[in-house]
Structure 1
Amino acid sequence: MLRAEERPESDVIARIRAALLPWYRAHRRSLPWREASDPYAVWVSETMLQQTQVRTVIPYFTRWMERFPTVTALAEAPLEEVLRYWAGLGYYARARHLHAAARDVVERYGGALPADLDALLALPGIGRYTAGAILSIAFGVRAPILDGNAIRVFSRLFLVEGDPGSARVQRRLWELAEALVPEDAPGDFNQGVMELGATICLPEEPRCDSCPLAGECAALATGRVAELPQARRRAQTVREEHVCAVLREQDRVLMVRRPPEKLWGGLWELPRARRRSEESLAECAARAMRETVALEVIPGAPLAVTRHVVTHHQITLHAVAVDAARGTPVATGCDAWEWVPLAEAAEHRPVSAPQARILRALTGGLAHPREVN
């Protein structure tokens, strides 16, 4: 809890609320999940928006809500279809958690999200931020939120120093968020904080001259806006090479479904392995087939290459043609395998973005090896 000397004065809190709420109502962007304060729509949108930009989320959200308009519709859908509608957004654990939580909500609450913090936090994939967004925006419950935008706004308003990811700074920021959110219109206030961070209080070149809270901002008053929030220590980039094996049977390719707990879990892909040091592309492709479907193959020519970034991992994915020498596929390192028409592989199966690029390139025909984007 904030000590008395750390808590913003009541008149400061009142001025911030009085300035932010009308600004948000006048300037908020028109976004599909803001059309109605439906708890399910808030939950889906906030989950999609984690580590993903708004402009990317909009078409995914629209398609998702058309196919899974209610918690019950999502719970009744097979996981593979859910992953297919998520394909391209990345961080697929979010989709798996949505699906698992929807089933819990149907079983325990009859398909209606509970308006209770502890009950929401008990659902798969819902943390304090998402729970606060659902409670405040959909149910009008006074609950704080803290996302990247809010961290930036609060850090500058109140000169919060230190690593925003540390327990000490997180605690301070959550306490500030709790102190500021009003009893009336908590959802509008929380969305106003996020909107301010997304459109005005930017990481670089903030538009302080247009900020409704400029008069309350300690960082602006002391010339420290550019310093805050203090940058986290970035994880070192890890570079990996992966190789996928392309085994054809007429117009079909052999694809496997990944185990759910691994990278791109639950998605379909061409058999893939991480390339070891001193291992050739051909050797890695052959090992991928052995480890996933217990097939001995004769590696052929490289077909394509693509690059992909996942958090701090930079992955280069090569595709190599192979011919089966002997054996029948057995799902040893995957959940399932199947011969899939190449023309349908990228569009009708949940596949990762780099695999989709490879598959589309193969569908178009490759006369020579090339990089695909």
Structure 2
Amino acid sequence: MRKELCSSPHSTWSRRNLRSRDGLRHAPYSSSYPDFLRPKRNTWTLPKVGLDRGASRLFWVIAIFIGLSPFLASPSNEDQGKGVQYDYDADIAPILDQYCVKCHGPDEQKSRYRLDTYERLLTPGSSDGQPIIPYSPMESPLLEYLLMPGDDEYHMPPEDEDQPNAEDIIKIARWIYYGATNKTAVAATLALEELLDKNQLVALKELRENGGIIQKLGKSKASLLVDLQQFSGSNLNQLTKLPSIEELRITGLGISSGELEIVQSLSSLKLLDGRNSNADDEWIVHINQLGSLEYLNLFGTQLTDTGLNDLNLPVLKKLYVGDTRVTQQGIEQFKHGFPEIEIYGSVDLKAVLQITEDAKSNSTTFNPENPAD
């Protein structure tokens, strides 16, 4: 018996006997498997399948290795760490995004199992069975389902969907064999100084000595917050040496065109706070290069309707343009083009005063039992 991660035809994980449909008994695990596909204990078994079902999983895996043998110098246990090692973010996530997240992601969660983040990938779905066993690829249900024959009802992805190729599956197997690691998750547990190399530490020291505040966004995150509101340095060149800056606060600063080039190079940036800075319409061409930006605050700047009209950020969620030269008409036009973005302009004080006067003239407004329409 074994725990299995069910694929698309099933609603839950389940246990099932490893006999094939033709009733043949299990074959013992083959010692001919390469090292990194061997389980820790020689107890895992494969079902034999009838000839009408095609090649068994054993034959299928061997075929993969024959085809990819130039790339698969499998290390022994003593040589672990010397072979090709893969990382979740760089190598595994793109494969899962392409073939698995459609049915196991934010929109749909078959078996209540998701593969769209590292943490969720390692978390059981409907069953309490662990989907991935680090260092043991062939004891990991996720890999089992990828290796099953395409016409097996437990095969994942479903037979009528696009399938990962042999090299993709080998990457996943090797990744599990070397511990199913995620460099970002490991880095998130380190203190800021431990995250940085020698050159980055020099940059950190210089920025801090000139009034900059640099810290991790949280204990469980490796990304950085950089606050330069009190910055007194001559330039922002050191920013380019720091990794994964997600939040940058430059409130009240006068930024040169050269420094704007530095800001636009921060590809991880999700929040840019430029309140009361010298931001104007010329900033927009640089800000538009920040493809990950979700929050933009240009309150109290010289932005006009022209700059607002030129703004084009694919994942922007919130935009603040109060106390600028942007008009209400410009805001309405922007809303029409980007209805999904929350945009906040200047408060209309006359309108607020009028609402207050209207409220005073209608005492029912202040009666919670009989609120005014």
TM-score range, shorter chain: under 0.3
Structure with a larger share of its residues in strand: 1
Structure with a larger share of its residues in helix: 1
- TM superposition score normalised by structure 1: 0.26
Q: Please tell me whether Structure 1 or Structure 2 has the larger radius of gyration of its CA atoms.
A: 2
- TM superposition score normalised by structure 2: 0.26
